[in-house]
Structure 1
Amino acid sequence: MTLLSTGPIENSPVSGIRPIQQVTVKIINRDLVNSSTILIQGYILNGLRTLYVLEQIDLAPNTVVTRNYLANFDAYEFVFITSGLAEESTDISVWGKNASGTIIDVQRIVADEQLGS
């Protein structure tokens, strides 16, 4: 079992509008034979750490899934727990998007940048 975290992500308003309105999570299982399971937890960080996303995905071999979540908060965090025989072959990326759906480069986290524990 592997635990990955984005860490806290600041999303304070600029001229009254938060830069990130939506978060896109992409998960890929590169294993050609085995499946993996990913538990996604999203938290609003507003003085308390409040769970607002809780989803488990069973990812078949050699597949990719995309999930979109609301992120119109001053701060948020995503935690991913991966397990299964393809755990080592499963990568996750997180992309912040503005109101028009454009990716904001400063709020993107790819597999090699995630915090493991």
Structure 2
Amino acid sequence: MPSITTGNLINIPIQGDRPYVQVIVKVINNNTSSGLCYLKGLVNNGSQQAPFAEDLFFLDTEEIITRTYDVGYDHFQINAIYSTLGLEIALYGVDAGGLYTPIDMEEVNISRVTSEIRSVNSITQVDNYAVISFRKNLSFTNPYGVAASVYVEGLDILTRNPARYTLIQGGNIDGNFIQYPTPTTQIPAEETALEVNTTCSVVTNGRVVTQGTLTGIAGAFTKTSVNLMEEGVMCYLEDGTNLTLVIDSLMEDIDVVVTLRMLEQW
């Protein structure tokens, strides 16, 4: 999925006036089918980026959506990710006198798909078993001064028993988060903005992102693969927020192998 960014925009006042007091964003769908666009504005003042705008658009064919954001910040940027090449995004900075100036955006390369795998065997806690959880590493240094954006990409589940799965954003979780590399995923710590928890078992509260069911055959594994982005699930992992895969067995125990994949962009 294409991802674009303005990069860091310097908006320091000159003789009392900022170059931009507002940014106007136009999203245009020139494709023959509908599409999704996720837009996020970030303040780059200080050591941690903070969001000042966030929008998720669903656009029908030939639909145009316009948004206006106030940008009274010394440094800021706008990132966008969209589902189809037929979508176009145009940005304009507006100064105090009402003069419009086009703002260029450049495509951002996908840094990596970061994943983790965990096997859970013969566990008698059959309800709400938290198998894997991801969160952003707040000490991660973003390359090129661009925000590290993290989205859930998909999951694979091998199971002997019929079960259901739930993806939960936020909430409280037990276990411990660790940085990469892990015993199963050899990613250098400076190449991923994620931490992972594979010692968890319980998550409380949080928001359900999506759910599904799995078939199972006694004595043999069956596999279920889900690409959440292809299903239109554009779940962005906020700073400090957990994203947890939970399994519920429909039988007397849990016997699964799961992989959860996250898409990282900067």
Q: TM-score range by the shorter chain?
A: 0.7 to 0.9
**How many angstroms apart in 1 are the aligned matches of 2:57 and 2:97?**
27
**How many angstroms apart in 1 are the aligned matches of 2:97 and 2:58?**
30
Residue 114 of structure 1, aligned match among 106, 109, 121: 106
1:96 corresponds to which residue?
93
8 A Cα contact 1:7 1:115, kept in partner: no
**How many angstroms apart in 1 are the aligned matches of 2:56 and 2:106?**
19
Q: Which has the higher contact order (CA 8 A, sep 6+)?
A: 1
2:43 corresponds to which residue?
44
- The gaps in structure 1 that reach 5 residues or longer are none
Give the AA of the match of 2:101.
I
- The gaps in structure 2 that reach 5 residues or longer are 110-266
Which TM-score applies when normalising by structure 1?
A: 0.85
Give the secondary structure class of the aligned counterpart of 2:39. Answer: strand
- 1:52 Cα deviation from its structure 2 partner: 1.3
After superposition, the CA RMSD in angstroms is: 1.3
Residue correspondences, number: 108
- 1:101 Cα deviation from its structure 2 partner: 2.4
Q: Percent identity?
A: 27
Bigger radius of gyration, 1 or 2? 2
Give the AA of the match of 1:114.
E
8 A Cα contact 2:23 2:91, kept in partner: yes
**How many angstroms apart in 1 are the aligned matches of 2:85 and 2:18?**
35
**How many angstroms apart in 2 are the aligned matches of 1:28 and 1:19?**
25
1:35 corresponds to which residue?
34
- 1:94 Cα deviation from its structure 2 partner: 1.0
8 A Cα contact 2:2 2:107, kept in partner: no
Which has more strand, going by share of residues?
1
